[in-house]
Amino acid sequence: MLIKGVTMFKKSAGILAVLAFAGWTGSANATLIIDVTEVGGDVVFTTTGSLDLTGATSVGSYSNYGLGFIAGGSNWYVAGSSQSLMYGYAMTSYDGAFGTSTNYFDSPSSVSGDDFFIWGQYGTTAQVGLTRDYVSNSTISSLMTFSSATIAGFTMIEGTYNYAIPSDNIILKIGKTVGVPEPASLALFGIGLAGLGFSRKKMKN
């Protein structure tokens, strides 16, 4: 009975590992994700992913735009990269503001990576901005940090917000997030998979 219980435990652990790993890979392969977290007394915007521009409608170009964000109102905005010539693409649906303050927080302590923005444009044509040479489905990655700050201090509201274009989505996640598993976590996944294989062998025997 004890051995049977151990076998079933290993089987369950293996299945859970597979499901967890599948969930991780699914989120890692997701569309464009903007994670806003507090790290060591700073607020960090981490953007990773890609966008499929199939069916997207261009709504204009911009030769200059500011860095930073506006959390509240109809002019909500996030631009976590340097400045360059950009093209805007209309959103088909969006959750809108992600905070209460309409102040423009435009003094990040550091920025790096690819250019992009999302913008409510005062409720007229909400859009995502990408570089003029952006190739559909290519990687977008950027990092923007505000030192000695908090999410609450910026009046941002924790949660998940969705902004859609015809064939893809931008997901803004504010607050605690689940990071990519460390190598040790991946090793645990491997142990779980091995346990599942062992359980199947025992059942056959």
The pLDDT value recorded for residue 76 is 98
What number of other Cβ atoms are within 10 A of residue 134's Cβ? 19
Mapping DSSP to helix (H, G, I), strand (E, B) and coil, where does residue 152 land?
Answer: coil
- Enter the tokens of residue 106: 């435009």
> Of 126, 75, 64, nearest to 105 (Cα)?
75
Distance CA 141, CA 143 (A): 7
pTM of the model: 0.72
Q: From first to last of the 205 residues of the chain, give the pLDDT tens digit.
A: 333 333 333 333 433 333 333 333 334 445 999 999 999 999 999 999 999 999 999 999 988 788 999 999 999 999 987 667 899 999 999 999 999 999 999 999 999 999 999 999 999 999 999 998 999 999 999 999 999 999 999 999 999 999 999 999 999 999 964 344 455 444 544 544 444 444 444 444 5
The pLDDT value recorded for residue 190 is 53
